[in-house]
Amino acid sequence: MKFGIQWNEKKSVTVPTREIEFQGMLLNSVTNDFSLTQLRRDKIRGLATALRASPNRSVTLFELQRFTGTAAAAHLAIGPKTNIFLRSMLDLMKKERLAPYSHITLS
């Protein structure tokens, strides 16, 4: 019986496991914690480095949104410090109300 459900074999885990990767995070059922995969860590680090390396600390709204969204999605693994750090960026984006490719100067 299929019940109308389609399985994606590449994404399915058919054997019991205590640690599983889901959307760039490792979920551990023994220790009940989340951690980032190396790929996700590298992506966040790369986006942060690109923001810091921008000339005159001027970045587009799109670049800032991309970093903020990626970092916010990892808050379960990083912890509550993420929310405090990202709050200033979110407030800046909210205040500016610019087009996606407008430039913002970071302080």
pLDDT for residue 43 is more than 70: yes
Supply the pLDDT for residue 18.
93
Does the reported pTM lie above 0.75?
no
Q: At what angle do helices 81-96 and 61-73 cross, to 10 degrees?
A: 150
Share of the chain above pLDDT 90, in %: 16
Average pLDDT estimate for 14-34:
88
Amino acid at residue number 17: T
Average pLDDT estimate for 33-58:
89
Residue-wise DSSP of 26-44: EEETTTTEEEE-HHHHHHH
Supply the pLDDT for residue 2.
63
